[in-house]
Amino acid sequence: MRRFAFAAVLALFLPVAAPAQDLASLVADRVSIAGNDTLVAQGNVEVFVDGRRLKAKSITYDRRSDRLHLEGPIVLTDDNGTLILADQAELAADLSEGVLQSARLVLDQQLQLAANEMMRIGGRYTSLNNTVVSSCKICASHPTPLWEIRADRVIHDQLERQIYFDNATFRLAGVPLFWLPRLRIPDPTLDRQTGFLAPSFRTTSGLGFGIKVPYFIRIGDRRDLTVTPYISTKNARTVELRYRQAFRTGDIEVTGAISRDRLLPGETRGFAQANGRFALAKGFTLAFSGEYVSDDAYLLDYGISSRDRLDSRVEVFRTRRNEHISARVINFRSIRAGDVNSTLPSLVTDLTYQRRFTPGLIGGEGGFRVQTHSHYRSSNLPGDSDGDGISDGRDMARLSFTADWRRNWILPGGVLAAFATELNGDFYRIRQDTVFAGSNFRGQASTAVELRWPLVRTQANGVSHLIEPVAQLVWSGQSKAVIPNEDSVLAEFDEGNLFALSRFPGADAVDEGRRANLGISYTRFDPAGWGLGLTFGRVIRDRDHGQFSAASGLRGSSSDWLAAMRLTLADGAVMTNRLVFDDNFKLTKGEMRLDLQRTDFGITSSYVRMLADASESRAVAVSELTLAGRYQFTPNWEGKLNTRYDFVANRAASAGLNLSFRNECLKLDLTVARRFTTSSIVKPTTDFGLSVDLLGFGGKGKRGPARACSG
């Protein structure tokens, strides 16, 4: 059957004053004109006018009344994603007003509003009587939506993107749960609007059963405030606040809470936190954060955080390809049981300038770094009253500089040779310390010669093998300066620093003496998608300089052996393992990690074992297993499990379970968490949490898999 376009004919029937861009285009199988005032279009009719698209079985246009009579099925869409379905309709010529019978309004392909009669008013409002509202999929096999709101009248304000309900009843699986005389909710296209957010429920051993009802306040396009009251059955009363503001060059966020409860009767408890980040001129970035808590147990009691040390900081930094500049001020506060904040460095300042370059005359790559550091303790005691080996009131300031250079050569036979040198200087000023008080300077020079012999083999199937033995001879000067070590207590020995000139993480300690860093690595790469990497080595010294602890694996004239492995499989599984053991194969440190992520399940696990070492503030050995897993039972149901087990204490330290459901119209999260650890400020607790979100109101991209229809 032929199709005809009648834009010019239809234009004859529109008002003369209508602007050219509002003229309608009509496409139909048959078009006829009755008399001088009536146009009839039949068969697969489509009308395009002012960004709207109308499809119907037949349309009759009466020029005298300027009205359209439509026979369905009728489909009306606009450029905002709004969809209207109906059986019959009487509409104005511009589609802005009229009545539709047996109609449905679909907003953003999510929320459906169905009624026997729908009215379009002024191109802005849509009014529906005896309405059913839901975002759940309905079909023959699921005739009752999972949730729905029934109301005597519903009005959708297209301009404000709001939905208003009169005499509304909320139903779950067809069962009425509660009634509201008036209700207002945002439509799915609105991301930010003043109103209540989804409530959440929480039950804890200390606070009892509680409910949170957030209220979101839209202050403007760039600012908002969320107020969340929280009440529980054990007389806990809390108000949580979150303020956010976006600026042209950055943003800030401030959160906090004030509480009264039976855990600390008669006391007002709370916390506050602020974060911000701004782009400055010439590529610099300003970042700041601040934290405050009223007492040591508050964060754990209210499930806010498990951190036991807080820091507040202001930092300005810039990082380029060959340059890094940063300046920061940090305030630390410990809420760990047994810590005394007056004897801990509470105020820290750092200034760093670092640059890499290529020397024009000698080649290779060079670099230098200038850094200042200071930390302050509020205690004024110059002695060590708590026996931790550090003066209670020690204050320190340091100026450091480092210059380094390295160059590589290719020798006959494919041997790679390298020469590296490094020069360090540190000037210290120490106060309130009976042992180290005063000024001191330490200078050190290091030189290294390195040989690598990479042996490569490639098979016909594309598999490649690389074996690379490495020998590095290092000489580092020894200084007679006596410097307290505060930032380099925890020295690691791993494949990343096996061939480093120093294995201390900070500047207070430097690697001294003559030594040989020896190792061999093997790498296998398979085009099928899996690979293997192995590293084996140790450090041999001219003598033991007494710089390293027993648990580091670096003590003695010969270090422990280092063995590291990384295995990557084609299915996405990744396993890493690092072992540090002595000549008798006694384990000093061990770490193993496994990560496997599939579509339906995932496992992440790690095991750590370390010897007890008083110099690393570890009174007992560590042997812990951490396990986290997820499993997708169905496209809608997912379970997650996490636990941490302490083999030394022979008990679990923590455990958690999460069960979530998500489909096209509902999101449900149920969590159970247990903390088994105890101290003088916290007790073992069990937390239960429940949150329910009705999808389809405000925001986008939140829907899960829709229910399948079988009929």
Separation of alpha carbons 468 and 455, rounded Å: 6
User: Residue 282, by phi and psi: left (phi above 0), alpha (psi -120 to 50) or beta?
Assistant: left
The arithmetic mean of pLDDT across residues 191-220, rounded, is: 90
- Is residue 652 in a domain? no
The arithmetic mean of pLDDT across residues 257-269, rounded, is: 94
- Give DSSP secondary structure letters for 321-345: TTEEEEEEEEEEEE-STT--GGGS-
The arithmetic mean of pLDDT across residues 194-210, rounded, is: 89
- Is residue 300 in a domain? no
Strand bridging mode 4-5 / 438-452: unpaired
Average pLDDT in the chain: 89
- Give DSSP secondary structure letters for 555-611: -SSBPPEEEEEEEE-TTS-EEEEEEEE-TT--EEEEEEEEEEE-SSEEEEEEEEEE-
Contact 77, 56 (CB under 8 A): no
* Burial of residue 428, with CB atoms counted within 10 A of its CB: 0-12 exposed, 13-18 middle, 19 or more buried: buried
Q: Which two tokens stand for residue 269?
A: 């408890």
Going by C-alpha positions, the residue among 139, 201, 195 that lies closest to residue 165 is: 195
Residue 673 belongs to what H/E stretch?
A: strand 666-675
Going by C-alpha positions, the residue among 691, 674, 702 that lies closest to residue 228 is: 691
Residue 23 in this model has a pLDDT that exceeds 70: no
> Which 8-state DSSP code applies to residue 223?
E
Residue 438 in this model has a pLDDT that exceeds 80: yes
* pLDDT number for residue 139: 77
- Is residue 318 in a domain? no
Contact 134, 110 (CB under 8 A): no
470, 473, 474, 475 alpha-carbon torsion, rounded to 10°: 180
Separation of alpha carbons 448 and 473, rounded Å: 5
At 63, the pLDDT band (50, 70, 90 cuts) reads confident
Residue 3 in this model has a pLDDT that exceeds 50: no
* pLDDT number for residue 433: 92
Residue 711 in this model has a pLDDT that exceeds 70: no
Separation of alpha carbons 401 and 382, rounded Å: 28
For residue 529, give the 3-state DSSP assignment: coil
- Final residue before a domain boundary, out of 587, 619, 651: 619
- Is residue 690 in a domain? no
- Is residue 640 in a domain? no
Question: How many domains is the chain partitioned into structurally?
Answer: 2
* pLDDT number for residue 609: 94
Separation of alpha carbons 654 and 677, rounded Å: 8
* pLDDT number for residue 20: 44
At 82, the pLDDT band (50, 70, 90 cuts) reads confident
Contact 170, 147 (CB under 8 A): yes
* pLDDT number for residue 452: 96
Q: What is the pLDDT of residues 165-176, one digit of tens each?
A: 999 999 988 899
The arithmetic mean of pLDDT across residues 437-452, rounded, is: 95
Residue 392 in this model has a pLDDT that exceeds 50: yes
Measured CA angle at 285 (ends 282, 287), to 5 deg: 160
Going by C-alpha positions, the residue among 305, 303, 259 that lies closest to residue 691 is: 303
- Final residue before a domain boundary, out of 118, 152, 185: 185
Residue 9 in this model has a pLDDT that exceeds 80: no
The arithmetic mean of pLDDT across residues 135-153, rounded, is: 85
The arithmetic mean of pLDDT across residues 143-162, rounded, is: 90
* pLDDT number for residue 164: 94
The arithmetic mean of pLDDT across residues 657-680, rounded, is: 87
Residue 16 in this model has a pLDDT that exceeds 50: no
- Is residue 32 in a domain? yes
- Residue for token pair 């001219």: 542
Residue 681 in this model has a pLDDT that exceeds 80: no
Contact 238, 214 (CB under 8 A): no
- Is residue 429 in a domain? no
Residue 7 belongs to what H/E stretch?
A: helix 7-11
Residue 299 belongs to what H/E stretch?
A: helix 298-301
At 682, the pLDDT band (50, 70, 90 cuts) reads low
The arithmetic mean of pLDDT across residues 558-584, rounded, is: 94
- How far, in Å, are 181, 402, 418 from residue 364 at the CA level? 78, 17, 10
Contact 30, 6 (CB under 8 A): no
Task: Give the amino acid at 223.
Answer: R
The arithmetic mean of pLDDT across residues 260-268, rounded, is: 93
Residue 110 in this model has a pLDDT that exceeds 80: yes
- Of residues 140 and 695, the one with the higher pLDDT is 695
Percent above pLDDT 70 for the chain: 95
Q: Which two tokens stand for residue 38?
A: 């009536």
Q: How far is Cα of residue 634 from the mean position of the Cα atoms in its chain?
A: 25
* pLDDT number for residue 589: 94
* pLDDT number for residue 205: 87
Q: What is the pLDDT of residues 338-347, one digit of tens each?
A: 889 999 999 9
> Which residues constitute the domain of residue 611?
454-619
> Which 8-state DSSP code applies to residue 371?
E
Separation of alpha carbons 687 and 657, rounded Å: 10
Length of the chain, in residues: 711
The arithmetic mean of pLDDT across residues 524-541, rounded, is: 94
* pLDDT number for residue 479: 86
Going by C-alpha positions, the residue among 454, 560, 453 that lies closest to residue 503 is: 560
* pLDDT number for residue 21: 45
At 696, the pLDDT band (50, 70, 90 cuts) reads confident
At 680, the pLDDT band (50, 70, 90 cuts) reads low
At 698, the pLDDT band (50, 70, 90 cuts) reads low
Residue 231 in this model has a pLDDT that exceeds 90: yes
Going by C-alpha positions, the residue among 549, 548, 551, 581 that lies closest to residue 564 is: 581
Q: Which two tokens stand for residue 29?
A: 């199988």
Q: What is the pLDDT of residues 602-641, one digit of tens each?
A: 999 999 999 888 888 788 899 999 999 999 999 999 999 9
CATH code of 21's domain: 2.60.450.10
Q: Which two tokens stand for residue 441?
A: 């300077």
Residue 664 in this model has a pLDDT that exceeds 80: yes
pTM score, two decimals? 0.83
At 113, the pLDDT band (50, 70, 90 cuts) reads very high
Going by C-alpha positions, the residue among 122, 102, 123 that lies closest to residue 114 is: 102
Residue 465 in this model has a pLDDT that exceeds 90: yes
* pLDDT number for residue 702: 61
* pLDDT number for residue 572: 83
Residue 287 in this model has a pLDDT that exceeds 90: yes
- Final residue before a domain boundary, out of 153, 185, 217: 185
- Is residue 666 in a domain? no
